[in-house]
Amino acid sequence: MSASATYQVVWPRSERTVAFKPMAPRHASLAGKKVALLWDHVFRGDEIWEILKPELSARYPGISFVDHDVFGNTHGHDEHEVVAAIPGKLRELGVDAVVSGVGC
């Protein structure tokens, strides 16, 4: 192999088509906050939420939850409609934060 050899390199990703948006600022604490749980109904989310909710409740007094079934399956046959409806439901329900879990 020669030191002057040239190789073409191809990057497996395409160009970005969507601009990055800054993330929303984090809450200093989840105490007293209403937290929505989103799930794609694929991998054990129902079990994970039942573990996570008591743990968060013990750590953050007054936290409340809006369960995933209020929003629907974020990975089902109607996922585009479900996901499009999420912002409105979050506003309507007065949600302060979201945990989107298990592949969602």
Report pLDDT digits (tens) over 85-101: 999 999 999 999 999 87
- Which strand ranges, in their side-by-side order, compose the sheet holding 64-66? 64-66, 34-39, 97-101
**Where along the chain do its domains lie?**
34-101
The span from the CA of 64 to the CA of 61, in Å, is 9
pLDDT computed for residue 2 by the predictor: 60
Residues 49-54: contacts with CB within 8 Å, 24+ apart? 49/101, 52/99, 52/101
Adjacent-strand bridge partners of 101: 39
Report pLDDT digits (tens) over 13-63: 878 788 888 888 899 999 999 999 998 888 787 888 899 999 999 999 999
pLDDT computed for residue 102 by the predictor: 63
User: The whole model's pTM is what?
Assistant: 0.75
